[in-house]
Every structure is written in structure tokens, then in C-alpha cells.
Amino acid sequence: MSDRLGAFQALRRGFVNVRANWELVPVVWFQTLAMMVMMVLACLPVLWLAGVGLADLLAVSGEPAELGGQLRVLGGALEALDGQLLSAPVTGAALASFLLYLGALLVYSFFQAGIYSVLAAGERQALPGSPRSWRLFRTFGLRDLSGWAGRRLWRFFGLLVLVCLTGLVLFGLLVLGFVAIAGVGEGWGAGAGIAAGCGGLLPMGFLVLTLVLWSQLAFAEAAHEGQGMWASARRALHVLGQRLSSVVGTFVLWILLLVGAELALLPATWAMDLEGGLGVGLFLAFVGVNLLRLLISTVLNLVMAGAFLAVCRDVRRLEAPSR
């Protein structure tokens, strides 16, 4: 079993895959921009019905005191709609917002299907084991990306809905857990409540971590040809059980890389805070640091996707002879 792919090897293959298909970075940025625009548009119908226009939103100040007053006015306008929930305008606005939110999820699923498919194709094309050349992973093409995204859109959309529903169930369990802990604290004293809370943190954290890892593996499995939504979800659980140490190790290393990158940028952030003012140089430095932060986070997110794809492929490779 020494030829099994470890966490370091998986991350290395992910880095090489992203380097070979570097155009995915601006694709992710365009996806983020499209999502932000659609989410803002989804809020507008209800806000417009409450008497809040786009100009009012753009005029919102960042000052805490003024912002609090503006938010209170907005809350009062939304509360005024409570007695009209079943009226035709409110129903129409809610339906329009829902359709726009649904469209945002479809846009996200489309891009995710294309991005994962490009990385999966690069992973399949390269030889297993230690990557020999980044050129072996090169598969990017806008035509291929859009084609794969169109074919696998509904598979990724179904997985996204499944992950969201599972997350809602988990959130409900967490709320019930906190209510139970509060009940223990009231009935048996603060010490018992603290003990119950500490004892409940471990299973709660385990469930959250399992959901995160399973969802990432499910998206990686969905990029394989001829595999549907439910098969991808089941296969992700299988990979998680077979390679728990590799998957957790990859995730931990990814978090350490994110934290390390943020720590490396802290001196520049502190220097800008100490400098103060609104000069052109400080503004350009602020933009540069945040663009660098965005670039690093985008690359590392793609690397994690590539690493999980490598783990999934390695499991298939080792299982192939026994089939």
C-alpha cells in the first residue's frame, strides 16, 4: 500500500494541475462577479417593494452611526410588508427574488462543473504518481470548459442543493444541541452546562468537518464521465472512508497554506493602517495587497479541488485490478 497517494503528493498534483490550467483563475473571478451581481439583483424586487431603490443602496454610508440609522429605516420598511404577505405585489416580488437566487445557483453550478471538469481532465491525462511535467496536465480550453459545464450542469446543481439541504439539517441539529446544553445548564448548574458543551463540541465539529470534506469529494467525483448525482455522493463517502487520513491531511495543509499566506500579508496591512490618509500611493497599495490576497485564495481553492480529484483518481486506480 506504499504507492497510495499521500496528502503532500495530492497537493503537489493539485498545484501542478492549476499551474497548467492557470486560465481557471480569471474564470473563477468572473464566476464570483456574476454571482455577486445576481445576488444583488435578487434582493432588488423585495427592496423596491419596500420603497428602497438602487440609488438608496448605493448611498449607504460606511459610518457606523449613519449605517445603523439606515438599517433601522430599511428594517421598518420591510416590517411594513408583514400584513401584505399574500398580496399579489409581495408574492410577485418574492417569486422574482426566488427565481434570481435560483439563477445564481445555476450560474455557480455551471462554472463549478466546467472548472472541476477541466481539472479532472488534466488529472486523467497526466501519469499517476509524482508529476513529471506540468504540460501533461494541460487541458484548458473555453470550448471544452463550456461543453463540460453544459453536460454536467444539472449534476452539479443537484449536488449543490443536496449539500445545502444537508447543511440545513446539520444546522438544525446544532441548534437543538445548543438548546439541550442550555437546558442542562439551567437544570443542573453552570458546571454541568459547561461539561455538556465541551462534550458536545467534538461530535458537532466532526459532523461539520465531515460535511465539508464529503461535499468537496462529491464535486470531485461528479466531474467523472457517466456518474450521476447520487452515485457521486455515495462515491464521495466511499473515498472519505478509504482515505480519511489523506483527505483530512490535505485539508489541514490547505488551511495552513491559507493561514500562512494571510500572515505573510499582515505586515503590509499593518503598514497601511499605520500610514493612514487617503493618498494615491496608499490606495494603490491597498488595491495591490487585496488583489494579491484574492489571487492567493483563488489559487489555493483550485489547488484543493485538484488535490481531491487526485485522491479520488488514486482510489479508482488502486481498485481497478480487483474489479
Which pLDDT belongs to residue 71?
Answer: 52
- Is the residue at 17 inside a domain? yes
- Is the residue at 217 inside a domain? yes
- Is the residue at 216 inside a domain? yes
- Is the residue at 2 inside a domain? no
Domain extent at residue 35: 7-322
pTM over 0.85, yes/no: no
Which pLDDT belongs to residue 43?
Answer: 77
- Is the residue at 74 inside a domain? yes
- Is the residue at 223 inside a domain? yes
- Is the residue at 181 inside a domain? yes
- Is the residue at 1 inside a domain? no
pLDDT digits (tens, 9 = 90+) for 62-71: 555 555 555 5
Which pLDDT belongs to residue 284?
Answer: 76
Number of other residues whose CB lies within 10 A of the CB of residue 319: 11
Q: What are phi and psi of 61, to 5 degrees?
A: -90, 155
Q: How many domains does the chain have?
A: 1
Positions in the chain whose pLDDT score sits under 70:
1-2, 46-90, 184-187, 189-200, 272-281, 321-323
